[in-house]
Amino acid sequence: MPKPSRRFAVAVLCLTLGIGLATSTAIADVGEVGGDWTPVAPLPDKRTEVSVATDGQRIFLAGGFEQVGEDDTRAPRAVYAYDPAEDGWEALTELPAGVNHTGLEYLDGKLYVIAGFHENTFDPISCFRIYDIETDTWSSGPSVPTPRGALATAVVDGRIHVIGGMSHGREDVAAHEVYDPETSRWTRRAPLPTPRNHHRAATLDGRIVVLAGRDDTTFRLTTNEIYDPETDRWDQGAPVPTGRSGVAVAVLDGKIYLFGGETFEPRERTFDEAERYSLEEDRWERLPPMPTARHGLDAAAVGGAIYVISGGPDAGFAFSDVNERLIPEDAE
């Protein structure tokens, strides 16, 4: 299949995902907290629509798009590991096939690469690839039941939850499927109340919080939906203060942090917003903005700091190697 040009792919993405009215919600009860941003070692190449995961010591990055020439892109296969203690990157392995808008999770010494879009296209796949870090080997797990990209993933009690995303025909799906490594089987759980894509999920206090994203009416969802695995039920949380999609999330000291994003309505732009959510208080706070506004980024917390990595500084197909570290003023 021919690779889409940068200009063509942006146009297709805008038209097929739908452009609606802006829905950023103004919320009165939003606090503020300080923090310091610092640039650290950049990613070895410039990408967007990446995915990261952490084992608590290193941060792993895979997938996405990389610019080739002025008007073309590719899906790079290199998987990198970043060591915050050394402030350095290393090439860990290569993906068996390129993928973008994928899910990436770390669990018990393995990296799980979950669905996404195939190579340099927007064709959803159901591939489930497993990388054993110690043995440096890849294997294939059972296919994700619902092929999709631009999905959200989270781990609770040793199981991987795959939530929402975009399937064939650019359809937003509510599918919520769970993989159990002990049985190597998938099961279906209560569907996501708001089908969407380009959202993110985070695990806190045994629950999964799914934030922001886009659907066929807007690029700026403020939706906050919370899943309880024990009851298999979804509840609503306080809306995201700044609606956007293509965001990153991380968990630090009992709070969920939400970074960046993009919109095409009413104009193309990226976001430098950094906000955090207390599940216990059901309340949002704003932090100092990111030094570099971008979307298609991802984030992970290690050692009392959050590292916000890669992503496009402009809406659509734009790329960066940016790696910026946030230390909140009240970090433990």
- What is the per-residue pLDDT for 72? 85
In degrees rounded to 5, what are phi and psi of residue 3?
-75, 135
CA-nearest of 64, 86, 84 to 75 is: 64
Kindly list the domain boundaries of the chain, sorted by start residue.
6-328
Q: What is the pTM of this model?
A: 0.92
Quick check: 218 pLDDT over 80?
yes
> Residue 321 in 3-state DSSP?
coil
Mean pLDDT, rounded, for 116-122: 96
- What is the per-residue pLDDT for 70? 77
CA triplet 199, 331, 305: central angle to 5 degrees?
55
Q: Which residue has the higher pLDDT, 23 or 132?
A: 132
The band of 7, judged by pLDDT with boundaries at 50, 70 and 90, is very low
- What is the per-residue pLDDT for 11? 37
The band of 18, judged by pLDDT with boundaries at 50, 70 and 90, is very low
The band of 136, judged by pLDDT with boundaries at 50, 70 and 90, is very high
Residue 71, sorted as left (phi over 0), alpha (psi -120 to 50) or beta, turns out to be alpha
Mean pLDDT, rounded, for 216-235: 97
Quick check: 21 pLDDT over 90?
no
- What is the per-residue pLDDT for 71? 77
Q: How many Å apart are CA 34 and CA 50, to the nearest integer? A: 27
Q: Which residue has the higher pLDDT, 11 or 218?
A: 218
- What is the per-residue pLDDT for 233? 98
CATH superfamily of domain region 6-328:
Kelch-type beta propeller (2.120.10.80)
Mean pLDDT, rounded, for 120-148: 98
Percent of the chain at pLDDT above 70? Answer: 92
Collect all residues with Cβ–Cβ distance below 8 Å to 28 and sequence separation of at least 6. Answer: none
Q: Which two three-digit tokens encode residue 329?
A: 């003023």
Q: Which two three-digit tokens encode residue 330?
A: 């009240």
Mean pLDDT across the chain, nearest whole number?
92
Q: What is the pLDDT of residues 175-184, one digit of tens each?
A: 999 999 999 9
State how far the alpha carbon of 218 is from the alpha carbons of 225, 265, 305, in Å: 17, 8, 32
Collect all residues with Cβ–Cβ distance below 8 Å to 15 and sequence separation of at least 6. Answer: none
- What is the per-residue pLDDT for 171? 96
Quick check: 60 pLDDT over 90?
yes
Q: How many Å apart are CA 228 and CA 257, to the nearest integer? A: 19
169 secondary structure, DSSP code: G
Quick check: 325 pLDDT over 60?
yes
Cα of 120 vs its chain's centroid, Å: 18
Quick check: 12 pLDDT over 90?
no
Instruction: Give the other-Cβ count within 10 Å of 280's Cβ.
Output: 10
